[in-house]
Amino acid sequence: MRIHHLNCGTLCPASARFVTGSGGLFERARMVCHCLLLETSRGLVLVDTGLGTRDVQDAKARLGQRFVKRNAPRLDPAETALAQVERLGFKREDVRHIVPTHLDLDHVGGLADFPDAQVHVFGDEHAAAMVPPDARAKFGYKPVQWAHGPKWNRYAVEGERWFGFESVRVIPGLDAEVVLVPLTGHTAGHCGVAVKGPGGWMLHAGDAYFSHREVDLVAPRSPWGVALFQKLRSVDNAARLQNQERLRGLVRAHGHEVKVFSAHCAVEFDRVRAG
């Protein structure tokens, strides 16, 4: 199995210092939509999809004017998962499975680019996205992104443990281990996605945290902008903070076995791409 790290959507919100904790106060930040593409014997598997081709073509209608204004996405067609899959010599039909960390708009915009793929999602997240219980839960979901009718596969945890976390394995018969690891708080059914590749385990932690500074083992902290956004937009902020502490514990105890990264931290993305 081969694993590719893809940036499927560059986001450039105002004030790098406020959002990321470094750079100028009036400088645009750089954030990514970090996705994984797995080459397996049963076709390609995407972990998250970032922004899709339709999002790039009609951003305000699909993503919302507020998201576009706040995040200033680059909207580069070359950054979509579909474009990157095709540059690697594959076709859209080769993507057989998609495993989203959660169903927010910047994580599943590319679902419609791969309409034949099976979409493997934590059942609690699917339920929350289909019928959000309140305005806060509804914030990041854009039903237009799954209006084409994805082939949903919903999962619940069944007692299996992954490094002490509850988990459930998905995509039976795959020659790679892919595991949903509930890390709720940001959304009701938010999960990390653990993948065991040739170099060992990696955990795509989604939006469980946004900055590498939040999982620092010596002096963890959230940049002001990230801290404010997460506090305001998490459906269960206490659970989110607890799961961040559990992730720090994972890194402390098993950092030599598991590589952990988030969906939007450009520093982590650049590190993992550099090897």
Nearest to 150 by CA among 87, 100, 202, 213: 100
Q: What is the pLDDT of residues 23-38, one digit of tens each?
A: 999 999 999 999 999 9
List of residues 6+ apart from 89 with CB closer than 8 A: none
* Strand pairing report for 177-182 and 151-155: unpaired
What is the pTM for the complete model shown?
0.97
Mean pLDDT of the chain, nearest integer: 96
Place of tokens 């502490």: 245
For residue 244, what is the enclosing H or E element? helix 237-254
Answer for the pair 206, 180: CB distance below 8 angstroms, yes or no: no
Q: Three-class SS of residue 81?
A: helix
Token representation of residue 272: 């993992």
pLDDT confidence of residue 95: 98
pLDDT confidence of residue 162: 98
pLDDT confidence of residue 275: 81
What are the helix and strand counts (H, E) for the chain? 10, 12
Name residue 70's amino acid. Answer: R
Confidence of residue 133 (pLDDT cuts 50, 70, 90): confident
Residue 136 pLDDT > 80, yes or no? Answer: no
Query: Ramachandran region of residue 185, left (φ > 0), alpha (ψ -120 to 50) or beta?
Result: left
Answer for the pair 68, 80: CB distance below 8 angstroms, yes or no: no
Q: What is the pLDDT of residues 171-186, one digit of tens each?
A: 988 888 999 999 999 9
Residue 138 pLDDT > 90, yes or no? Answer: no
Question: What is the average pLDDT across 51-59?
Answer: 98
Answer for the pair 58, 64: CB distance below 8 angstroms, yes or no: no
Q: What are phi and psi of 30, to 5 degrees?
A: -125, 120
pLDDT confidence of residue 134: 82
**Angle subtended at Cα 45 by Cα 119 and Cα 104, rounded to the nearest 5 degrees:** 45
The dihedral through the CA atoms of 101, 86, 144, 135 has a sign that is positive
* C-alpha distances out from residue 257 to 72, 163, 250, 252, Å: 36, 10, 10, 11
pLDDT confidence of residue 20: 94
List of residues 6+ apart from 154 with CB closer than 8 A: 121, 122, 123, 126
Nearest to 117 by CA among 100, 96, 133, 141: 96
Task: Work out the end-to-end distance of the chain between its first and last CA atoms, rounded to an integer number of angstroms.
Answer: 17
* C-alpha distances out from residue 56 to 68, 73, 119, 141, 253, Å: 11, 9, 21, 17, 41
| Whole-number Å distance between alpha carbons of 271 and 132 | 36
Q: What is the pLDDT of residues 222-260, one digit of tens each?
A: 999 999 999 999 999 999 999 999 999 999 999 999 999
Strand partners, 45: 38, 97
| Whole-number Å distance between alpha carbons of 121 and 155 | 6
